[in-house]
Structure 1
Amino acid sequence: MTETPQQYPTSLGTSNASTITLLGHDLSTELLGQVGFGELALWLIRQQRPEPADVRVFEAVLVALADHGFTPTAISARLTYLSAPESLQSAIAAGLLGGGSRFLGVTEDTARFLTATLAELDAPPPEAEGAPDHWDALAHTAIRNRRAEGALVPGLGHPVHRQQDPRTPALIRLAREHDRYGPHLALFEAIGRVAPEALGKPLPLNGAGVCGAALADLGLPAELLRGVALLARTAGLLGHIAEERRRPIANQIYRAVDGHAYYVAPDAPATHDYGSG
């Protein structure tokens, strides 16, 4: 009896001896030179070709998350490249592995928080551009519930931009201009409005959080958003490694830390305050 070969269906890419097909289109004749990388990435994620307004907001998010200076992810990449210059992929991977609850992971965490809050509503949320009192009341409830759980509100506060993250108003304005301002951004803005009263201190909406809200309003599932943040940061890490080759500083960082290391007893009190971002 002849066995039927197993088949593995995919809506992404396939190839044979003469052609490459991606998303149902001929890569060479229909996509190369006609589709930008941001559009392609969003198309791959959503499995349908995005509209130009979707691409504009998505690419703005990628730009907003690409680099933020000498963050732990960038330093990790540079130090790994110093240690293993023959392994570029290890340096980039080292930086990406640092995407978590304090850096980069905030994009996903904020989207999860906003999505869960909206899912608990008994009725559909009001129009994003209307009913500010409703959104503020919902934001108060969301913050109260989050505090009752003993958890921080994701997307609030930044270790550098303590008054306002400059990315936040720019991304919100862009979403509005392209008619992509939806309930996640409306709720996130309301959280920013009520947070000083609800928490007793002013905390700005950070850029990673607004990116999560904007991506959620584009219909992307929260579970994939850390991947989008890492996609953006990959470009930034590659830039850091390229700069490390031209103007190396990783060895200085290593020498500075090593030269200032000193022994303390294991039970000595900690003296560092680690911020979040």
Structure 2
Amino acid sequence: MSETSDVADWWRTSIIEMEPGRIEIRGTPIQELIGTVTFPQMIWLMVRGDLPSEAQARLFEAALVAAVDHGPQAPSIATARMAVTCGLGLNNAMASAVNLLGDVHGGAGEQAVEMFAHVDEYYGTVAEALDAWIEQRGKILPGFGHRFHTPVDPRAPRLMALVGEAVEAGVCDGRYAGIAGQIEAEISKRKGRPIPMNIDGATAVIYAELGFPAPLARGLFCLSRSVGILAHAWEQQQQGGRNKGPTPPKYRWTFDPA
């Protein structure tokens, strides 16, 4: 192998080809994409390698829109605003906030896709599949119930209605929507009260129905929530403020003596 090819092969990608005066994304010149595809379609093209149908793109976009923001009580949003008051620029504030989107805050969509697949592949009833999941992964079932939105997360019914319309139109087959419905019924039965699907469960249904692997559900959530993060960081820049922490200065934390 020559030194030239050794350098050229250091990174390998089928996403972009570029040389002076030419940029091709997934084999299409960038100038042919500019003004002809939407940003959600471009996201799909980048991560999937093809363009979605218009109906697929609409359902995909709905999931992205639904998760953009959840207010300053969300740790990621609060972090963005605090970062700005510490003198950071928008890019630093966004990076700080996105770094908080981990397994607990931001990972439920990915986990819900994994749970749907687990139930789908399990040889047994939904109840038995959930028992096996709980034994392996713990008692928290991602995508159902909400600590703030009770009795219903207002985003989930709208998203599931769009999934229903997509199934009727032949965009997807409803397989994972059906699984999610069965899980919801089983959880509610166990709790003795309704435990409805939340935003993470509904977007997980959409991403699973559209064929996105589970890890991308988290990545796509990060893209979606970045919109809210940017908006809050920018708003905080306009409002000003210096060194704002998680609580007003007059409040003190609880001290636990050793």
Shift, 1:52, TM fit: 1.2
Q: Relative to structure 1, is the Cα distance of residues 187 and 33 closer, same or farther in structure 2, using a 3 angstrom cutoff?
A: same
Residues in 2 aligned to 1:116 and 1:250: alpha-carbon distance in whole angstroms: 47
Shift, 1:223, TM fit: 1.7
Residues in 2 aligned to 1:241 and 1:247: alpha-carbon distance in whole angstroms: 10
Gaps of 5+ in 1: 123-136, 268-277
Partner residue in 1 for 2:183: 191
- For the pair 1:97 / 2:99, whether they are aligned, the reply is yes
Residues in 1 aligned to 2:233 and 2:4: alpha-carbon distance in whole angstroms: 48
Shift, 1:264, TM fit: 2.0
- For the pair 1:205 / 2:197, whether they are aligned, the reply is yes
- For the pair 1:168 / 2:156, whether they are aligned, the reply is yes
- For the pair 1:5 / 2:5, whether they are aligned, the reply is yes
Residue pair 2:80, 2:233 contacting (<8 A) in 1 also: yes
Residue pair 2:67, 2:224 contacting (<8 A) in 1 also: yes
Shift, 1:34, TM fit: 0.4
Shift, 1:256, TM fit: 3.9
Residues in 1 aligned to 2:155 and 2:247: alpha-carbon distance in whole angstroms: 32
Superposition map of 1:4-23 within 5 A = 5-6=5-6, 7-8=8-9, 9-23=12-26
- For the pair 1:178 / 2:166, whether they are aligned, the reply is yes
* Range 69-78 or range 184-193, more displaced: 184-193
| 1:115-172 deviations in Å (ceiling 9; x for gaps) | 12212348xxxxxxxxxxxxxx52x233333334443111111121121111111111
Q: Relative to structure 1, is the Cα distance of residues 265 and 116 closer, same or farther in structure 2, using a 3 angstrom cutoff?
A: same
Q: Relative to structure 1, is the Cα distance of residues 106 and 43 closer, same or farther in structure 2, using a 3 angstrom cutoff?
A: same
Residues in 1 aligned to 2:154 and 2:246: alpha-carbon distance in whole angstroms: 33
Moved over 4 A (4+): 1-4, 248-251
Shift, 1:53, TM fit: 1.4
Residue pair 1:196, 1:202 contacting (<8 A) in 2 also: yes
Residues in 1 aligned to 2:142 and 2:218: alpha-carbon distance in whole angstroms: 14
Question: CA RMSD of the aligned region, Å?
Answer: 2.3
Q: How many residues align?
A: 249
Residues in 2 aligned to 1:104 and 1:225: alpha-carbon distance in whole angstroms: 10
Q: Relative to structure 1, is the Cα distance of residues 166 and 250 closer, same or farther in structure 2, using a 3 angstrom cutoff?
A: farther
Residues in 1 aligned to 2:68 and 2:117: alpha-carbon distance in whole angstroms: 24
Shift, 1:63, TM fit: 0.4
